[in-house]
Structure 1
């Protein structure tokens, strides 16, 4: 079962900004996908811990000014140099790290983040595994993690020669360093301590 669509029209960021706040959407190639209701507590516990570990690892590193952000945080993905209002792809990944400060503005991020993490939920798994993986590959996200809390695995995609190579799959055990940010080492035992 896929995520519900708003309608079959082509939308832009200008439309997105005008919609009421009651229901959140992501735009992918102009298609508005309704975001799932608030995630389960397990999702939020895991996200908060991953974000905390990431922030702590990146803090105080002037040679690498990378910043983590958690949803809701708009990531606008232009196709070229179109004005913001004309962008037709805006997503809200669970966790992103942006290392190019020029991509950051008051509305979020314009351009591909360096690292994206999506924590899979039953209602969004197919969307994250297929639609968003293709999108992140196309726009040049350098590393994409899909965390499967139920199966206790993480699927890791790395950008290689213009696309994602075959994924690496790891158990959520011990530690795992982010390939493009080796100073960020996720301690899975700590990350899962409050996950039932």
Structure 2
């Protein structure tokens, strides 16, 4: 029995999951999420984050998955930001979750009856989690938590927890500190 080949979307998802599983790719991207947004204006920051992400993917492909073909469009070509084995993807960056995505409307195209977009869209929202989350402990106790942000003050009576999330939705509490 042979294993069916992965679809282009499955191939892309697998590649990104493999890259994200390697801790050596976390720091540059996570650090840039905060630093670029603090130091550069909106679209400049987004463009640099996109380039850093794609540089990381290109490095991962050339180092660990050289059988894959990662491509970029010619300068100025619209509609896509990179391709994996010919599968074109538009990459977006957001500070606050999934944004509304606009499509360009061409009034001269009377043959179009609805809006379309020529390639799939990937969205990077790393570092911008919900303001409050719930964590279920192994003893089924629910903890309400806030992700640590740069200026968050830990007050007396509060606790800090270190949590590890692997693939999936269940987190593991590694350590708990009381203030």
Q: TM-score, normalised by structure 2?
A: 0.31
Structure having the higher strand fraction is: 1
With a CA cutoff of 8 Å and minimum separation of 6, indicate the structure with the bigger relative contact order: 1
TM-score norm. by structure 1 comes to 0.29
More helix by share: 2
